[in-house]
Structure 1
Amino acid sequence: MAAPRVTPVTHVVFDVDGVLIDTEHLYTDIIQGIVGKYGKTFTMDIKVKQMGRKEPEAAKVVIESLDLPLTVDQYLQMSHEQQEKLFPSVELLPGAECLVKHLHKNGVPIATATGSHTQSFELKTSGHKDLFSLFHHCVLSGDDPECKHGKPAPDCFLLAAQRFPDNPDPSKVLVFEDAPNGVEAAHAAGMQCVWIPHKGINKETHRHLATLVLESLEDFRPEMFGLPSYDS
């Protein structure tokens, strides 16, 4: 199946973890630290299944996949304790600051849509408040009452579009994602998607759903989608 055709867009929505900020390796370390206590290994196959989902759903995937003797609440408490230590110092990924500032400067409406809940999002972005203040809004599907289902359902991306003042047609919205679940969600929402696969993920599994597959945000050229070029 061929990838979706590139057409001009007017609005941009970013996933956060693994696209704008370098948290995915921290999540891996945190989860392995938890499951390792029970002699288990957090594999890439499990990571792919839980990436992008609402936090309780992601926790359930890990618990059930590894048959852990933990409730979701117990697992999340252990995870949150480590997040509070590690997340405030998280760094931006290459190309993130440049692209976000460029789009904002040129009047392109931008938003984020993530599976995170408010507390986690604030921890992760606390060192980059100036950059995240440039977004028109942030959809935090982890605890947003209007977001009924996490990725791979399209809810968070559709909400992100609806919350722009002009409520653009989904076909005019470009999504940036790193997780296969997120690519599925963008496709289900009827949006084009630039996929920047997390290291270790098989690029062939979801290539047909992504409009464009890149190694880094640094490789993105806005003019491909009818957006202002870096030279403008």
Structure 2
Amino acid sequence: MSIEAVVFDLDGVIIDSEEVWEEVRRGYVAEHGRAFLPDTQDRMMGMSTAEWSAHLADEVGVPLPAARVAADVLDRMARRYEQSLPLIPGAVETVRALGERYRLALASSSARVLIDKVLETAGLTAEFEVTLSTEEVPRGKPAPDVYLTAVRALGLTPEVCAAIEDSSNGLRSAGAAGLAVIAVPHGVYPPAEDALAQASLVVDSVTRVTPEAVAALR
């Protein structure tokens, strides 16, 4: 059995946006007189829009409905991307190199509006057969829903697909879905050991995810 498709995460794999997300959400919370809980940042990595906005409203205590929190934060993120898209060096080239040999999908916790903006700006829209936001499935990462849905949309099974992830919840999600998992740990937000154990391959840069490295997974 060999790999037929590669499913990319977006944040932390193609764009180095985790620090932008943290800065924007911390600033927004502070403006409303609140502060992150000790585990807020770790918990939100991988959550869907509905999940993280509910966390900020219901648990952190931002005094607005979750839907308003989501709209406000996403608007700020979109404006930041318009100013400067934080592409990870070599990520665009890696996507295109893998696309010459494998079918490609994207499974992201970002909102649809941000996924589309990033891919269009980076010139990668046509590289992916399937793109999914966790907004579009019942549960966000670490649940396997977004990966299982992406694989089904490709008409494949998890056994012939690989995932590229950076975060704890992303690694757990891809592992729970049964894909071969490649970890590209983020230097500032490293994954937990139990999540990293899901990976068949751990690399220090997305540029090391070559077609040959993917082929060796199965």
Scaled by the length of structure 1, the TM-score of the pair is: 0.82
- 1:184 maps to 172
- 1:155 maps to 145
CA apart distance, 1:65: 4.2
Scaled by the length of structure 2, the TM-score of the pair is: 0.87
Q: Is the 8 A contact 2:5 2:161 kept in 1?
A: yes
* Bigger helix fraction: 2
Structure 1 vs Structure 2: percent identity of aligned residues? Answer: 27
CA apart distance, 1:188: 0.9
CA apart distance, 1:154: 0.9
**Counterparts of residues 1-232 of structure 1 (less than 5 Å):** 8-42=2-36, 45-88=39-82, 89-106=84-101, 108-128=102-122, 130-142=123-135, 144=136, 147-164=137-154, 167-198=155-186, 199-226=188-215
RMSD: 2.2
Q: Deviations over 1:144-171 (max 9, x none)?
A: 2xx222211111111111111xx22211
Structure 1 Cα separation of the partners of residues 54 and 200 of structure 2: 30
Q: Deviations over 1:14-64 (max 9, x none)?
A: 011111122222111110111122444447832221112210101222334
CA apart distance, 1:85: 1.3
Q: Is the 8 A contact 1:23 1:87 kept in 2?
A: no
Gaps of 5+ in 1: 1-6, 228-232
Q: Is the 8 A contact 1:148 1:155 kept in 2?
A: yes
Structure 1 Cα separation of the partners of residues 125 and 116 of structure 2: 10
Gaps of 5+ in 2: none
